[in-house]
Amino acid sequence: MKFHFFSIPAHGPEEEVATLNRFLASHRILAVDRHFVAEGPNSRWAICVSIDHGPAGMNGAMARSAAARRGKVDYKDVFSPPAFAIYARLRELRKGRAEAEGVPAYAVFTNEQLAEMVQRRVTSAAALREIAGIGEARVEKYGPAFLDLIEQAALPASVAADDAA
């Protein structure tokens, strides 16, 4: 693991943000710590980026081709458009929860677990528990929101429109 540090001014940060984004896109990121330093007109973001340094620390194109060699699934090719829409909404929900808790998205649910929720059309906490890697703690913590999203997504559009009125 290696650390890289960035200072992003609060006013007129475009160039530094572009540099940071290029760096993030070309490395395997392990963690990002950020703190706002309030110093009036010299206020800035202090950012520490931890990267994987070694064979796994590849640039974006190399990482994508490596993922393809590992057999990573593109669920857009697997699911029908309506099922993929539910899967995409589950991923958005997972991302929001992960960001709110400051944890990686896979700590909430993995892509494979989300896909299985869609494939099985889970409708209960018991069905969630049947998915590999989902235990009681995750069911209690995240289950209600994810089950609600799946239930709402499965409603016919006319019924959902009537409920919204």
Say which CATH number the domain at 134 has: 1.10.150.80
User: Residue 19, Cβ neighbours under 10 Å: how many?
Assistant: 13
Number of domains the chain is built from: 2
Q: Which residues pair with 4 in a beta bridge?
A: 49
Query: Are residues 88 and 155 both part of a single domain?
Result: yes
Q: pLDDT, tens digit, for every residue of 144-153?
A: 999 999 998 8
**What is the predicted pLDDT for the residue at 57?**
39
What percent of the chain is modeled with pLDDT above 70?
A: 82
The CA R_g of the chain, rounded to the nearest whole Å, is 20
Average pLDDT over residues 44-63: 66
Query: Are residues 115 and 132 both part of a single domain?
Result: yes
**Do 53 and 74 touch, CB atoms closer than 8 A?**
no
Query: Are residues 149 and 109 both part of a single domain?
Result: yes
Query: Are residues 49 and 82 both part of a single domain?
Result: no
Q: Which domain holds residue 33?
A: 2-69
The yes-or-no verdict on residue 50 having pLDDT over 60 is yes
Query: Are residues 52 and 92 both part of a single domain?
Result: no
105: closest CA among 90, 86, 125, 126?
90
Query: Are residues 86 and 56 both part of a single domain?
Result: no
Query: Are residues 55 and 119 both part of a single domain?
Result: no
Distance of alpha carbon 150 from the chain centroid: 18
Q: pLDDT, tens digit, for every residue of 68-117?
A: 445 678 888 888 899 999 999 999 999 999 999 999 999 999 999 999 99
**What is the predicted pLDDT for the residue at 62?**
45
